[in-house]
Chains A and B, each alone.
Chain A
Amino acid sequence: MTCPPPGRAVEALDVAALVQRAQGGDRAAIEGLVRRFLRPAYLVALSVVRVPVDAEDLAQESVAMAMQQLERCRDPARFAGWLMAAVRNRALNAVSAAKVRTRYADTVVQDKLLDGDGERLGLRRQLLVALEVLTPQQREVVLLHDLESWTHPEIAASLGLSEVNSRQILSVARRTLRERLQAMESDHG
């Protein structure tokens, strides 16, 4: 079993301490948790619903709900896994209740409304389409690792996987995505 780098170990302790303070009603600690975990929550939600605007709404709802129910997190050291499981469940419920627009066309419309940067919009659209070829679990692993810089131990804890499994999933997801992105470029080229 590999040890996390010292910086990461300290960070994990920081999170546990923050959670304990937040459970006591410390507003600054709650803000610290929200700022640290809102974006990972968004990425987990995005892995499931695949629509950025809906993922942001779900992340906001889930994190706010988690902050209100912090007493239920009995092991502060496992806060990240507890929170991400809540986000995942909420996103899955939203999908099964057909509250989320899953059609690609809707995503494009939302993006046009929210973002005026054409080049970035194109990239964003390309990435969203490419991500469609992955499973939700592959999407979660690759997004948390490559965008949020989570380590494999953190991802493994969040998803209930082994670290070896997390590494394998990341490798397969990257390869599949690159192939898809290259195919898309050659189609357009």
Chain B
Amino acid sequence: MDEERIDFSALDPARSARQWEARVQATLAASQGSLWLTLSQMRVGVFAMAAVAVLSWVPALFTQATSTTKDPALALLQYTHAGDVLALIEATDGL
């Protein structure tokens, strides 16, 4: 077995310390370009966006619920069921 190392130091880029440090810094800068988009942080972002979507839907649900009480057909049904003749006449006049 050949146990003696070959001297490859002429091929070592780190021999030029200043140039190599510049290379390291360039690599670090390129690495940090999208670090904020690591998967764990993306999960938090997706969760936050989902929460906003759900919250923005709540007022729409509430509006829809209140608007159904103003539905003329439902109102007529309610007045009929309650025997409120006056309200029934007013409502049918409006139609």
**List of B residues within 8 angstroms of A68 by Cβ:** 31, 33-35, 37
Interface of B is mostly: helix
B71 contacts the other chain (CB 8 A): no
B4 cross-chain contacts in A, Cβ below 8 A: 174
B9, B31, B40, most chain A CB atoms within 10 A: B31
| Complex-state Cα separation, A85 to B55, whole angstroms | 45
Q: Please encode chain B, from 37 to 52, with 1 for each CB lying within 8 Å of some chain A CB and 0 for all others.
A: 1111100000000000
Interface residues in B1-48 by Cβ distance below 8 A to A read: 1-2, 4-14, 16, 23-24, 26-28, 30-35, 37-41
- How many residues belonging to A are interface residues under a CB distance threshold of 8 Å? 41
B13 contacts A52, CB within 8 Å?
yes
A27 and B32 contact, CB distance less than 8 A:
yes
* Chain B, interface residues (CB within 8 Å), range: 20 to 34
Q: How far is the CA of A12 from the CA of B7 in the complex (A)?
A: 26
Q: Which listed residue (A71, A124, A145) contacts B38, Cβ 8 A?
A: A71
Q: Pick the contact of A23 from B2, B31, B32, B38 — CB < 8 Å?
A: B38
Please report the C-alpha to C-alpha distance between residue A52 and residue B31 in the assembled complex, in whole angstroms: 22
CB distance B27 to A34 under 8 Å? yes
Q: Which residues of A contact B34 (CB under 8 A)?
A: 68
What is the bound-complex CA distance between A143 and B9, given in angstroms?
A: 10
Query: How far is B79's CA from A115's CA once the two chains are assembled, in angstroms?
Result: 96
In the complex with contacts A56-B13, A171-B1, A142-B6 CB distance below 8 A: yes
Contact with B along A110-148 (1 / 0, CB 8 A): 000001000010011001100000000000001101110
A67 to B13 CA separation, bound complex (whole angstroms)? 21
Once A38-B23, A128-B11, A146-B8 are accepted as A-B contacts, the answer to whether A60 and B30 lie under 8 Å apart by CB is: yes
Q: Which residues of A contact B16 (CB under 8 A)?
A: 115
Given known pairs A38-B23, A68-B35, A147-B11, the reply for A178 and B6 (CB within 8 Å) is yes
